[in-house]
Amino acid sequence: MIQGCENMQIDPLPRRAPRVSYRTGTAAGALAEAGTLAVFGFGSGSPAADDPRYVRVALESFDAPVPMEVWQVDAPVNCGTDGALQWSAGGGWLFAAIDLDEREHGGPSATARLAYEQLHRFVTAHDMQHVLRIWNYLGAINRGEGDAERYKHFCDGRAAGMGDFFAEGFPAATAIGHHGDEHGLQVYLLACDQPGQRVENPRQVSAWRYPRQYGRTPPSFARAMNLPGRDALAISGTAAVVGHASAHHDDLDAQLEETFINLETLLASAGLAAGFDTHSPLKTYVRHAADAPRVRDFLRHRLPGVPVLLLHGDICRSELLVEIDGWRYV
């Protein structure tokens, strides 16, 4: 005999992934649409907006007109600010962003620590505590030699600020150098009330296991993240790294080919079919502006019809010329 129970717990349905798209138009128009969780403008020419869901990213685009990036969910969205943080939430999803000036907080390490401490505090106060994807943009990322490089200081500060933020495992992530105010640090994230599944690349050493030559503190991220509904893969910044070493120093074409081998390996590791389609938006970060036309031609040949946002950004290793991240929807 099976006894009934009015308080039987039913597992919630997996959260449908936010829809990410690139589009032209106005930020106000995108923000006015139902379910808009976040909107991103790129570069100094992007419009300003007071809405907490809007972020002006300090990366210049090689595209004209410059598209916006829009995140949307299937639910009403609330938004607000909390000190230096801006945030929005809806349908089990949480967006949070912080923009800090290093001159006010003691340099790159101390500023990264503060940013992660504040994000940690904010996220743990909400139901959406599973951080699935995070972006970091900092100025002059490769300035300095050895352990004095700014990126390595950022990694030190990030780790110090994490605490137990990612006790269940690291999120997918990107860290890119912008060409805006060199003292500016921007960090934003996507979290959910359901966990995702981390994906590693068998061709690469996991980032948190990098040897000492890459700094006192290894980078802290997963190569990709399957979102809770297994309906989208969030892909971390991916470049021409094999094992833990950079490949094809200063050879743009070879680095692009190696990067695509890594991307396809990630798709296979996540159990997805090969290739990208018109619903899989990607960002491509290009170190040297003069390389942008060659990169664009390569991508148009390799990814016909795939939405790609081409941005001017420095890769975390000075010998790397290009990096790609984005989304692969099922």
Beta bridge partners of 78: 89
Task: Indicate the length of the chain as a whole number.
Answer: 330
Gap between the Cα atoms of 280 and 294, Å rounded: 21
Q: What does the DSSP assignment read for 120-181? A: HHHHHTSS--EEEEEEEEEESTT-SSGGGSHHHHHHHHHHHHHTTTTTT-PPEEEEEEESS-
104 has catalytic annotation:
no
Q: What does the DSSP assignment read for 67-113? A: PEEEEE-SS--EEEEETTEEEEEETTEEEEEEEEEGGGTTSHHHHHH
Gap between the Cα atoms of 160 and 99, Å rounded: 18
Gap between the Cα atoms of 50 and 255, Å rounded: 39
Looking only at the bridges linking them, the beta strands covering 130-139 and 172-178 are parallel
- CA dihedral of 197, 136, 278, 66, whole degrees rounded to 10: 160
Gap between the Cα atoms of 184 and 83, Å rounded: 17
Catalytic residues: 323
